[in-house]
Structure 1
Amino acid sequence: MQKIKTALLSYGMSGKVFHAPFLAIHPGFELLGSWERSKKLIQEDYPEVRSYPTLEAVLDDDIDLVIVNTPVETHFEYAKKVLLAGKHAIVEKAFTTTVAEALELAALAKEKGLKLAVFQNRRWDSDFKTVQQVVSDQVLGEIVEAEFHFDRYNPNLSAKTHKETANSGAGILKDLGPHLIDQALSLFGLPQSVFADIRITRTHSLVDDYIDILLYYPDVRVRLKAGFFVREAIPSYVIHGKKGSFLKVRGDVQEDDLKLAKKPNLDTWGKEPKTKEGILHTEINNDVLIEKIPTLQGNYYDFFDGVYNSISNDTPEPVTAQDGVHVMQIIEAAIQSNNQKKVIDL
């Protein structure tokens, strides 16, 4: 199996929790190291890898793939340098800060014949995979309404300065928003128009921390919400069709397990407790039924496996640059809608 030599552009929570553990267990990747600016931590976990002092040192090395997992406002600059250096790239969400930047990166990757994937790992959450399966099975009939939430209760500001300083990449719209938007688009495609309410609710916050986005489709309405003042959460996924409904709480265990330094695997990883199973209430063959739906297994490994196949076998990326462009189109439309207090056509 061809080894894809890979480097990270930071080894904070993103590199340590979401990327390195999966690169380490996938036989097709070789983790060479990470760019580390001040704290030198990666060799504590992976003694055999390198700590690069600069981005240039990364790009000058014999590396096939670079993961751009730095603050959002740096994504475009760093990803462009990576592509110009002839390396494949994975870029964290939000892909960029503007649609124009996203389009430029997509065009550059195509011109260079390189793979460019967006790290939308929440497509491989156990809860969303189950929602996806229920919709695919058409047990709800024609879908008329969906509502996705990414709610938390956390009135305190983040200790991460880049998340709380007013800049082009900060705020919940470009932090949690891309997860919700990407999930909605992967289920329903691009909407016709967008309406959004974006607010600041935490004391002393300088960045948006509440979003309510409505996506308009010809026959479906999709609402996406995220905020920090939800102490008692409602189901994170609510789907209503002409025959029935499906309700599912957010239950994916992967992030919590990764933060506890548990090692991912291909067998038992990403399995939710049965207490988090979703409720299906629908009508099938004239019989009304209410039942719990077993949750599918989640595994972010599948994203990295998709990237491996994309580079090795020239298949499409698991989340393409065009997918990233579409998410940025919704984000820009949401900002415009909030500023103008009106529906924005795409």
Structure 2
Amino acid sequence: MHVGLIGHGYASATFHIPLINKAVGLQLQAIYSSKAVNHSHAAVVSDVNEVISRKDIDVIVVVTPNMTHYELAKKAIAAGKHVVVEKPFTVTSAQADELIDLARQKGVLLTVFQNRRWDNDFLTVQELLRTEVLGKISMYEAHYDRFRPNVRQRWREQNIPGSGILYDLGAHLIDQALTLFQMPKTIWADVQAERTGAEAVDYFHLVLGYDDKKVILHAGSIVREPGPKVMVHGTRGSFIKYGLDSQEDQLKKGMSPGDPGWGEDEPGQYGLLTADIGGMTFRGTVETLPGRYEVFYEQLSHALTAGSAVPVLPEESRNTIRIIEYAMQSQREQKTIQIS
């Protein structure tokens, strides 16, 4: 399957191109870029319509600023292409629903690059929940804190649709939470621009309410010394882990899936598990499962050739956008929102 990539910024160079090149059954054929770039294995063009209209391209990957996702994905689907959209899927859930309906009408596959479903810490938490070693979960808390006190001149930090960290980091944290626990019953949100001169959201604190648990998702831009990345508490024990997944840094250094150490965590960042097991209390570290970003394009290739499910259902990413919309409503109205 031949792939056309729309956009050649950080996400394309760091994630998509290396992972597409590694996936069996996918070949990068053309790249649209507004800047002059060189690529040894694909044609680089300056007209986005050329990539979409090329008959030798089966799959379009949209990796452009968030407010352009909807129009570019819609154009590619209308041209009969299978489409991958970088997260966040769209700016509004109505746009997402329209793309889902159009893809169904055209008989093409549509998916969203929610790569952090394959973070090493998230895979480890999933396994702990699967084995029920923590018992019935009462609290899940995930953070994405950074120390970036100065506002930068880039679209992500401008006052435009789809900008700010709620659509950026929030799209990751919300997708992970919905993957674990499905849609919540309620949401309360504190969404702010906390830095001097900030035009876009650079801080959020979301509380998702379920019948039997609370989920807290948090991100800030003025956190010099971050706390735990994830904390999970249940009736039998707790799991607390510091540190970020290693794959992004590894890709930036030129590593690829399958290389020695790929996706592995530093032992000093292994999570701490305290749990009652078999009548005894266990307290110790749990080796982090290796991260596996390559799974996304592996599963996409299999979906294209064998008819299996896409790696991320577009309806799931639509629900992430719905949660973002509910969060902004909660902030506006200063109250807890009931989710229908």
**Structure-1 residue corresponding to 2:118:** 124
CA deviations over 1:87-131 (Å, ceiling 9, x no partner) = 011111111011100111111111111111111000111111111
CA distance in 1, matches of 2:132, 2:260: 28
CA distance in 2, matches of 1:28, 1:273: 32
1:35 aligns with 2:32: yes
What is the aligned counterpart of 2:14 among 11, 14, 17?
17
CA distance in 2, matches of 1:105, 1:215: 27
CA distance in 1, matches of 2:259, 2:298: 11
CA deviations over 1:136-181 (Å, ceiling 9, x no partner) = 110011000110000111112234x211221111011101000000
Cα pair 1:126 1:295 within 8 Å, conserved: yes
Q: How far 1:252 sits from its partner (Å)?
A: 1.1
Aligned alpha-carbon RMSD (Å): 1.1
1:22-171 → structure 2 map (5 Å cutoff): 22-37=19-34, 39-41=35-37, 43=38, 46-61=39-54, 62-159=56-153, 161-171=154-164
CA distance in 1, matches of 2:6, 2:194: 32
Structure 1 stretches lacking a partner, 5+ long: none
CA distance in 1, matches of 2:251, 2:151: 23
**Structure-2 residue corresponding to 1:331:** 324
What is the aligned counterpart of 2:274 among 258, 270, 281?
281
1:166-315 → structure 2 map (5 Å cutoff): 166-265=159-258, 268-315=261-308
Q: Structure 1 stretch 173-182 or stretch 246-255: which is displaced more?
A: 246-255
Q: How far 1:60 sits from its partner (Å)?
A: 1.6
CA distance in 1, matches of 2:228, 2:255: 27
CA distance in 1, matches of 2:228, 2:290: 19
Q: Tell me, what secondary structure is at the counterpart of 2:101?
A: helix
Q: How far 1:313 sits from its partner (Å)?
A: 1.2
Q: Tell me, what secondary structure is at the counterpart of 1:173?
A: coil
CA distance in 2, matches of 1:302, 1:267: 17
Q: How far 1:262 sits from its partner (Å)?
A: 2.6
CA distance in 1, matches of 2:296, 2:242: 23
CA distance in 2, matches of 1:243, 1:60: 56
Q: How far 1:266 sits from its partner (Å)?
A: 6.1
Q: How far 1:322 sits from its partner (Å)?
A: 0.5
Letter in 1 for 2:313: T
Cα pair 2:229 2:244 within 8 Å, conserved: no
Letter in 2 for 1:40: A
Q: How far 1:265 sits from its partner (Å)?
A: 2.4
CA distance in 2, matches of 1:186, 1:117: 15
Q: Tell me, what secondary structure is at the counterpart of 1:228?
A: coil
Letter in 1 for 2:23: H
Q: Tell me, what secondary structure is at the counterpart of 1:8?
A: strand
CA deviations over 1:217-252 (Å, ceiling 9, x no partner) = 000100000011111111111000011100011331
1:6 aligns with 2:3: yes
Q: Tell me, what secondary structure is at the counterpart of 2:331?
A: helix
Q: How far 1:257 sits from its partner (Å)?
A: 1.5
Cα pair 2:28 2:41 within 8 Å, conserved: no
TM-score by length of 2: 0.97
Cα pair 2:86 2:112 within 8 Å, conserved: yes
CA distance in 1, matches of 2:214, 2:58: 42
Q: How far 1:36 sits from its partner (Å)?
A: 0.9
